[in-house]
Amino acid sequence: MIDSRAVVDTAAEIAENVEIGPFCVIGPHVRIGSGTRVGPHTVIRGPTEIGQDNCIFSFASIGEGPQDLKYADEPTRLVIGDRNTIREYVTLNRGSGHGTGVTQIGNDNMFMAYSHVAHDCVVGDHTVFANCASLAGHVDIGDWAILGGFSGIHQFCRVGEHSFAGMGSMVSRDVPPYVIVAGNHARSYGINKNGLKRRGFTPGAIRALHGVYMALFKSRATRRDARERVEKLAAEYPEVRRFLEFLDSTQRGIVR
């Protein structure tokens, strides 16, 4: 299932049932799991590990070195999980020598055309990167997060699980879990209620998150008073506890 016009290095490890289209270039130290399909003209450099049943479309660039002037050809990696869809002209870079050294991508993600994941990023599961959504280096993206088209995430930012960044969002601070942000620079606009409903969150949990958001982001109460009020909800709802833990652990500040 490897087209005769593809160039596959003899040191690459290709599992059975992998389809590689014409004019692909697969370098050494590349491992591709069973059931993965690689479209025409795709370039995959190593060290890169790709799991099972991924679908990679034409002209994607997978596993090139980081776009970092400090990079000195250190041995770094890109690790991709299972069942990801990687559309045309997507770029996924390996880690850097001064970071973790690994760029990690989980399972069941959708990377639409021209989206970009830079060095040392960590992407969870079930995320959606709309067209041209881009991550700078050292960014963490939580499970089920959605990045709108042409959105950009600054270095070292975190985007929490189940959050939503609208089209063209420029994010320079952390995005809390469950929150909608939009704009340049991005501002928060409430809880991602529709997304949470679709993913099976209970009405009580959604109401609790909305109450916490209003108390901490919109209330005129002091932060201390607002926090005391929401701590009671955290004892009842793990989603609220996760929200507060994220706020407490921020290093860059929160999109408000």
Residues with a known catalytic role: 119-120, 137
Which residue reads 């652990």 in tokens?
A: 249
Long-range Cβ contacts of 246-251 (<8 Å, 24+ apart) = 246/158, 246/160, 246/174, 246/176, 246/177, 247/176, 247/216, 250/158, 250/173, 250/174, 251/156, 251/174
CB-side neighbour CA atoms (13 Å) of 108: 6
Q: How many CB atoms lie within 10 A of CB 120?
A: 28
- CA dihedral angle for residue 110, residue 116, residue 120, residue 124, rounded to 10 degrees: -20
| Tokens of residue 92, six digits | 């996924």
What does each C-alpha distance from 59 to 23, 39, 62, 88 come to in angstroms? 10, 7, 10, 6
CB-based contact 159:140 (threshold 8 Å): yes
C-alpha closest to that of 25 among 1, 66, 50, 59: 59
Q: What DSSP designation does 158 have?
A: E
Tell the residue number behind the tokens 């699980």, with chain if given: 161
Contact 176, 205 (CB under 8 A): no
